Structure 1
Amino acid sequence: MRRIPVLMAASLAATLASATLARAADAPWFPYPAEQVVPPFAADGKAEPISYVPLEKASKHWKICVSFPHMKDAYWLGVDYGVVEEAKRLGVELVVVEAGGYTELAKQISQIEDCVANGAQAVTIGAISADGLASVVGELKKKNVPVVDLVNGINSPDVAAKSLVSFYTMGYQTG
């Protein structure tokens, strides 16, 4: 199924690209050193280094909804920038929504449902709540709408792909 690799590539690329906001517009951000967990999604999996290279272009036109918790700080603004720029590079149609804060779980769920009702073929979620989105993720899987877990983590076996960060590593490197 080509849908998952494209979605995973777009989400991972967007996250990674957001870390390079200051780069020149024409300078490629890839290949990018990253880690993959083997086996995928395993809590006790082993992290292995990889050199991530994204797709050149999407295999077809995709409409993807990206849901963020908020746009109140430089971190999420940077992730938004990366997602938007990578979608342009891949030729993907993007709808970006933000719930307004970590207290707005009901709004995030409603926005995700509205995106899918309006034709989103996949959803990438920067989760407000790791457990609070499990039911909507399950409903989307029943509709064959894959969900990519972006940055914060979602506790659901129905997530199709993950593009997460190690908050420990990020804090350690920051000092």
Structure 2
Amino acid sequence: MFEEFNNDDCYVIDEAGNRHGPYRTCFTPNGVLDIQEPTLIVHEGDTLVQPLPNGQEFLFTVTKVDFTSGMMDFPAFWRVEYQKQGSRQKAPAVTSSVYNFHGSNNVQIGDNNIQNIRNAVEALVQGINDAPTTPAEKEKAKGLLRTFLENPTTASVLGAAATGVIELLK
């Protein structure tokens, strides 16, 4: 039914290196093609070959395969998703959280922030020492701060700064 749109030849190279085809299809910029050949054997990881008019070939890696049985006047077909070999995959977006602590000398932990970790912790420890509370409560607060700084996640965010500021709490 849509054969008139299939202007490209496509070969499939399986994991054993055997080349099958040609199959008529239409390579698209969005990395999806349909092949109306019910007996086609193709798997994720196989290689698609697109012969070019100048004699060169583009190679693609199959990333997803689906089969549709067809219905009424629509023939059965394979829908194959692919990615050009040698092309770079889009890097995942880097996400990072920024935590703002206000009232504690505005400590900011995160990317693109000026980090004065040592000064902030010194001020925090001084604030705990100056707080109108019992010595036991002060030690408990410093212990919680020490636990926070020794946490592996916190240590990975603060890096070497964590080791230095823990010394302030001893």
Structure with max Cα Rg: 2
- TM-score interval for Structure 1 and Structure 2 normalised by the shorter chain: under 0.3
TM-score by length of 1: 0.19
Which of 1 and 2 has higher RCO (CA within 8 Å, sep 6+)?
1
